[in-house]
Structure 1
Amino acid sequence: MTRRLARGAVVALAAALGVAALSTAVAAQAAEEDEAAAEPVEAVPRFVSVAAGFYHSCGVYADGSVACWGENGWGQAEPPAGQFSDVVAGARHSCGLKSNMTITCWGDNTHGQTGAPDGHFLAISAGAYHSCAVRLDESVVCWGSNASSQGAVPRGTYSAVAGGAGHSCGLRTDATIVCWGDNTYGQTDAPPGEFSAVATGDQHSCGLGSDGTVTCWGADFVGQTDAPAGEFSAVSGGIWHTCGLRTDATVVCWGDGNYGQTNAPPGEFSTVTTGGLHSCGLRADGTIECWGNLHRLTAAPDGRFSALNVGAEHSCALGSDGTIACWGNNTSGRTSAPTGEFTAVSAGTWHSCALAADATLACWGENSYGQANVPEGEYSVVSAGWLHSCAVGSDAAVTCWGHNDDGQLDAPDGEYTEVASGGLHSCAVGSDGTVSCWGNDNHSQASPPEGRFTAVATGDEHSCGVRADAAIVCWGGNWAGQSDPPDGEFSAVTVGMWYTCGLRTDGTVACWGYDGGLADPPEGTFSAIGTGRRHVCGLRTDGTIACWDFAPVVATPSGVRAVTGADPGSCRPLGVHNEPTAGFPLPAWAVSAHGTVRVAVLFLDFPDATAAHTTQREAEIGLPVAEEYLETSSYGNLDVEFVPLHRWLRADRNRFDPEEGHPADLQQAVADMTVRLADDDFDFTGFDSVMIVMPSSHFSGGDAGRAVHTEEGPVGGITRINLFPVEDRPREPIQWGRVAAHELIHNLGLVDYYAIGHAHQLPDPEAGKIWVAGAFGPMGLGVRILAEPRDPRLVHLVRFPNGATSSQFTPELGAWEMLAWSRWQLGWLDETQIRCVTEPAQTVDLSPIADPGEGIAMAAVPLSDTEVLVIESRRRTGYDAGWRFRWSNGATSTLPGLPTEGVLVYTVDAARVSGLLPLKIAGDTGNGRVDAYPILTVGESVTLHGYTVTLDSASGEIHTVTITKTVEDDAEAAETGQGQA
């Protein structure tokens, strides 16, 4: 964001990603002095400017000091002391223009974005991961990320500058606008004409014309460039929305309003600024009002509390009066605690539970697996886990409910004093002090050691307990050292995803495992602690709460008011910023899904895992399959160009051992080593991604990473394919093209739809039946169904070059056409091909997703601010007819495809990151299985989340569906679950 510049006219302009504005510092200072002389000293300090970043905001007080609030994982909300005339906020950093015209920045400096240059400046701007400023000589300098040349400023003189995500724009002294950097969506194609201000969003830009009208250009996925008519005095660009300040001092916003960020309150403002999920305006009285989704701007509540528990992205505390206060992400109502008096509270991953004063239970939040359906009876302890809950009854027995695919509900008989619900396992402390665990044990997290314990805590893949001698012992996964507790005496332990924290008997906190700042708790003594996915909270001995990293939050100061919440009316939910989710927009690091994508292909083997075939033969097996799939699925929007280096690069070490570290670190080490070996023979200039193909080593299948550094500079995407035979495995090359396509799609920004680390354990099938995998698309959405071993739908046909054929049965039904939702995320479907259903009843004609033409490819129903119900048509065409590939001997194979035509219904949750079930097929009750193949045929219907979807008819290529709202109350809808008729 940029605002102040000495050039006569006063134009207030602010933005989350980068905004420019004109002002005279002298005039502003004189006005402030006049107001100070005329008015008495206010009890609440007045603001004179405001800047909204992605998930934090900052403001300059009338006395020149700066206050910031919201997410503070990188220190972006901790401004230094001093006198400032302006402040700007980027993704994870902030910068201030001091009264002496020098610049100071704070927060994340991964890309050098806080490394402000020396000198004196007129204006500043904070982009996503870079910063820019106008010098006294009217030249512009930028620092920080330059991956898309957003820091390569054209020569000339400027009066203002604005930094976006991968691009920047400047207002020249001749009143024209010039932009530079990433131009994927035309965001640097500034129109001709005279302007008084410029603003940049994530992938769009706007200018304030000399006549007061606003013109925008670039990405327009959700109308962020559709500026309304009228005269404006300021404009501000957010991620996917834009706001303008009219000349009558009212604010109007346009573009994505999924979180209410475009619902500007009435009244007059002097400044407007747009953030990631929110917007803020400065009132004439010096107060700030913000609107949109502000859960990331919410700190722990003030007051005194007696107990604390931390969930994945939310926390709950028990007040001294027995009431519950929750804060953080409120998706599915997980922070909407019931009223009443309680004695204990437990925050799970997506739901919460509490023990009432009368010893009964109450749970709220996500309930798709029944984890919030509390049993009757009296209890003494309750624990909310990932998809299940457990409690200790008045008879000392443990009762569990919810998801049970791995036996995590099957508590053993006995008497217990404590219970802990983890990911897919549970543990409890018996009355004799021993620990018992049950459920998933793939990392030995359910195999506790012998001994006597006073407490136990369960995480995703590891568990810990406090022994009777006050020492902590842990078991299970340990790739980040999360199971290596320090010495000392402890009174409590809490387990996060990849880290652990313990409360020492002296009241201090110690954390270990994956750090990210968690090992540096605040000073003071605590009586309780809790760990979430990315943060830790502690209850101090004085009853107050303190939270810290991964994403600590600074409380909102006096003079700032939140005025609106989320608007669930949009079918395009925003995801977690810069993380791969099923939401919008795609991460800033994602490779463009349009135009030509150049992929360097390198082949690596190891001294103890050598390749069995030439690189040419391996390339012929995999690359054409991946290329054809991606180009076809994109409807021609994407052109994939593979450039292989045809020789095996021999690693200078043996293959990696999984015990050497976390898989992500090992995979990055593979990438760095391979590029180093190839750099002398390969020019990486102009490549978007690097693919590394190698024999089996430390992981199976493939994986994707974000970047690798070469001598020619960074390459934005990395994929590793690890399927080749080694040692005693078959010597025929493996068909790895489908895996390659999957990993390259990760580079484009899409997520895994399956549950990473939570493989469902299938029970023995019924007599005479087998389990069959039904897959939809390449990213892991699928279910299991029971079928006959020789079901004709399961035939795998092989055709040889001489015309002969052979067949065999395979336990897989692959409808490999990419999902409509995935194509929409990637921009391969546009708004005209999506029907967003907001009426109580609506009929939609759906065209086949393989080739929708200009028809409707997807119907979507918004369920909440992050959840959407999706319906799409599937026909036995394209990749839904079966997956075809060619062997090196010329034979072709066709794997079974879609067994029946109809519509597929599933739900999307944009708040869930990759591998945490962001998509779920209707009829899946949580165990990855359905009673019948999940395609609705004519006359069939399915009811879920308060809506009934019925396939009325099939005519030609059109499937006609009716979507009817059957439940009015959202809470009642959550209880209806899902079922198929």
Structure 2
Amino acid sequence: MKGQQPPGRVHGPVRRSRLRACAAAFTSLAALAAIGLVAGPAVAVPSAGPCALPRTAAHHSLGLDTWNGSYPRPTRALDAVMIFLSFPDSAPMTTPAQLAADHFPGTSEFFERASYGRFSLRVHPQQNWTRMPQDSAAYAIRRDWSAERRAAYLRDAIRAADASVDFSRYDIVYLVADPDAPGVDSDATKVVNLERPLEADGTEIKRVVTVFERHPPDRNVLAHETGHVFDLPDLYHRPTDGKGDWDTYVGDWDVMGSQFGLAPDLFAWHKWKLGWLDRSQVKCVRGPGTHVVGLEPVAAAPVAGGTVGTRLAVVRTGEDSALAIEARSATGNDKDTCTEGVLLYRVRNQAASGDGPVEVVDTHPHTEACWERSVYPPLADAPLREGESYTVPGTGVRVEVDGRTKAGMWTVRISGPQPVR
């Protein structure tokens, strides 16, 4: 839940120097007790093409031929209310304005860049504290929260805020707890999906982002959690014993893996799913022979006039799998990246959130990079560099990087067996 399925924050019990911290969280617990969200109506996605995997019943499926209508799609401006909760057993040491500044405008700017200006997240922070009826300890807040206590917390929070908040005006609800209250667990941030929505002001509240961060909070935590609100999955791996590396699937690549990642911009596949890339910006590689594709870096801003070039190449490798190919460079949300190059990753539409729906292909399996900064050094140098090539195991697909233009475009040659149609 630190994120919707798990976390929206780093989720992991093991936090190495807050930089190698594991990404966090766990699965988004649904409603007053249920885990998981009722699948919403399927909405056709015009941008889908022959390389688009079909959406499945998996939680946060990365199939994108249809959109799960129970989630808001961020292809328009969305309004979010941020409510600050205090408790009878603690006098707040911060102000609502200070806590709002911990997350905004940073989170809105992250999505503005990631969406190439196609999506605007407008936050409306409350100016005063909303007093909860019970002490913070009474709710037994923790990451793996009891459904009963969690339901009581949500119910009390919405009721307490209803006097000053018109919930009918908002698409997203952030509940921010006083970080200094004794019963607040900073590892419990998550998105709660409500199997039976709460109601206020004639509006159904289907999910809530519950924030229990310290002040200042973990980096990019709200970007991660908000991604769950848009039906994006957790990309980290949670060890069964809670120990070990959480970032073995995608490392630093994509904020849905680790909120501490050095290259947190969303994968191009995610941007395609969310509607920020359309078919003209996705190259579907089909048929025999070698295909030459020019890829603009995923995090690069549109050129003059707002034009977005090709950002993703896709090879279908099976009925429920695909190989995605994109360029990553030190710009935009990825300005602090450890390495640059052409990144390869596998996508599976049957894998649920937290079960590895995306796995980065390590094209340099015998080396590591940026040990002092990376959340998972073995994948920090995963991209192919200029002049390098790699044949992806189990697919027969070969990717060669011819070079990079002065404008930053990467020229890639893709060849291999004919993909599944």
TM-score normalised by length of structure 1: 0.33
Alignment partner of 1:752 is 2:191: no
Aligned partners of 1:608 and 1:742: how far apart in 2?
A: 30
Alignment partner of 1:671 is 2:154: yes
C-alpha deviation, 1:847, in angstroms: 0.9
Aligned partners of 2:43 and 2:261: how far apart in 1?
A: 39
C-alpha deviation, 1:932, in angstroms: 6.0
C-alpha deviation, 1:712, in angstroms: 3.0
The structure in which a higher percent of residues are strand is: 1
Alignment partner of 1:845 is 2:279: no
Alignment partner of 1:700 is 2:187: yes
Contact 2:401 2:411 in 1 (8 A): yes
Alignment partner of 1:633 is 2:144: no
Contact 1:776 1:817 in 2 (8 A): yes
Aligned partners of 1:660 and 1:778: how far apart in 2?
A: 19
Aligned partners of 1:648 and 1:828: how far apart in 2?
A: 36
Paired residue for 2:404? 954
Distance change in 2, residues 1:968/1:686 (3 Å) = closer
Paired residue for 1:687? 170
Paired residue for 1:911? 350
Paired residue for 1:718? 208
Aligned partners of 2:270 and 2:163: how far apart in 1?
A: 38
Contact 1:705 1:747 in 2 (8 A): no
Letter aligned with residue 961 of structure 1: V
Alignment partner of 1:647 is 2:128: yes
Alignment partner of 1:861 is 2:324: no
Matched residue of 2:350: which SS?
Answer: coil
Aligned partners of 2:52 and 2:74: how far apart in 1?
A: 18
Distance change in 2, residues 1:682/1:578 (3 Å) = farther
Aligned partners of 2:61 and 2:286: how far apart in 1?
A: 23
TM-score normalised by length of structure 2: 0.75
Alignment partner of 1:734 is 2:216: yes
Letter aligned with residue 751 of structure 1: P
- Worse-superposed segment, 698-707 or 944-953: 698-707
Alignment partner of 1:623 is 2:104: yes
Alignment partner of 1:780 is 2:257: yes
Paired residue for 2:362? 923
Equivalence map 1:465-614=2 (5 Å): 570-577=50-57, 579-584=59-64, 585-608=66-89, 610-614=91-95
Contact 1:906 1:921 in 2 (8 A): yes
C-alpha deviation, 1:611, in angstroms: 3.1
Aligned partners of 2:308 and 2:209: how far apart in 1?
A: 34
Cα deviation code 1:407-447 (max 9, x no counterpart): xxxxxxxxxxxxxxxxxxxxxxxxxxxxxxxxxxxxxxxxx
- Where does the alignment leave 5 or more consecutive residues of structure 1 unmatched? 1-109, 112-127, 130-164, 166-201, 205-218, 223-255, 257-569, 725-732, 763-770, 783-811, 882-896, 971-981
C-alpha deviation, 1:709, in angstroms: 2.5
C-alpha deviation, 1:670, in angstroms: 2.6
C-alpha deviation, 1:586, in angstroms: 3.4
Aligned partners of 1:908 and 1:665: how far apart in 2?
A: 36
Alignment partner of 1:872 is 2:334: no
Aligned partners of 1:664 and 1:832: how far apart in 2?
A: 45
Paired residue for 1:892? none
C-alpha deviation, 1:929, in angstroms: 6.2
C-alpha deviation, 1:667, in angstroms: 4.0
Matched residue of 2:104: which SS?
Answer: helix
C-alpha deviation, 1:878, in angstroms: 0.7
Alignment partner of 1:825 is 2:266: no
Distance change in 2, residues 1:660/1:703 (3 Å) = closer
Aligned partners of 2:308 and 2:119: how far apart in 1?
A: 18
Aligned partners of 1:781 and 1:600: how far apart in 2?
A: 25
The structure in which a higher percent of residues are helix is: 2
Aligned partners of 2:295 and 2:419: how far apart in 1?
A: 28
- Where does the alignment leave 5 or more consecutive residues of structure 2 unmatched? 1-36, 366-375
C-alpha deviation, 1:919, in angstroms: 0.7
C-alpha deviation, 1:817, in angstroms: 2.0
Distance change in 2, residues 1:604/1:631 (3 Å) = same
C-alpha deviation, 1:672, in angstroms: 2.2
Paired residue for 1:964? 415
Paired residue for 1:270? none
Equivalence map 1:180-579=2 (5 Å): 202-203=42-43, 219-222=45-48, 570-577=50-57, 579=59
Aligned partners of 1:930 and 1:943: how far apart in 2?
A: 19
Paired residue for 1:657? 140
Distance change in 2, residues 1:820/1:651 (3 Å) = same
Aligned partners of 1:958 and 1:862: how far apart in 2?
A: 23
Aligned partners of 1:931 and 1:623: how far apart in 2?
A: 30
Aligned partners of 1:659 and 1:877: how far apart in 2?
A: 36
Contact 1:578 1:587 in 2 (8 A): no
Letter aligned with residue 140 of structure 2: D
Aligned partners of 2:381 and 2:148: how far apart in 1?
A: 39
Letter aligned with residue 59 of structure 2: E
Aligned partners of 1:756 and 1:650: how far apart in 2?
A: 35
Equivalence map 1:157-172=2 (5 Å): 165=41
Paired residue for 2:387? 939
> Which among 222, 229, 244 is matched to residue 761 of structure 1?
244
Distance change in 2, residues 1:639/1:915 (3 Å) = same
Contact 1:575 1:582 in 2 (8 A): yes
Distance change in 2, residues 1:679/1:860 (3 Å) = same
Letter aligned with residue 962 of structure 1: R
Contact 1:598 1:641 in 2 (8 A): yes
Letter aligned with residue 844 of structure 1: V
Cα deviation code 1:735-759 (max 9, x no counterpart): 4572112111211111111124545
Cα deviation code 1:512-531 (max 9, x no counterpart): xxxxxxxxxxxxxxxxxxxx
C-alpha deviation, 1:920, in angstroms: 0.7
Letter aligned with residue 80 of structure 2: V
Bigger-Rg structure (1/2): 1
C-alpha deviation, 1:939, in angstroms: 1.3
Alignment partner of 1:900 is 2:339: yes
Distance change in 2, residues 1:915/1:932 (3 Å) = closer
Distance change in 2, residues 1:951/1:645 (3 Å) = same
Matched residue of 2:262: which SS?
Answer: strand
Aligned partners of 1:664 and 1:935: how far apart in 2?
A: 42
Contact 2:43 2:67 in 1 (8 A): no
Equivalence map 1:82-121=2 (5 Å): none
Contact 1:781 1:920 in 2 (8 A): no
Aligned partners of 1:932 and 1:818: how far apart in 2?
A: 16
Cα deviation code 1:559-600 (max 9, x no counterpart): xxxxxxxxxxx3211232383122223322111212121111
Cα deviation code 1:338-388 (max 9, x no counterpart): xxxxxxxxxxxxxxxxxxxxxxxxxxxxxxxxxxxxxxxxxxxxxxxxxxx
> Which among 264, 269, 279 is matched to residue 816 of structure 1?
264
Distance change in 2, residues 1:777/1:665 (3 Å) = farther
Matched residue of 2:170: which SS?
Answer: coil
C-alpha deviation, 1:858, in angstroms: 0.4
Contact 1:624 1:737 in 2 (8 A): no
C-alpha deviation, 1:963, in angstroms: 1.5
Aligned partners of 1:660 and 1:748: how far apart in 2?
A: 21
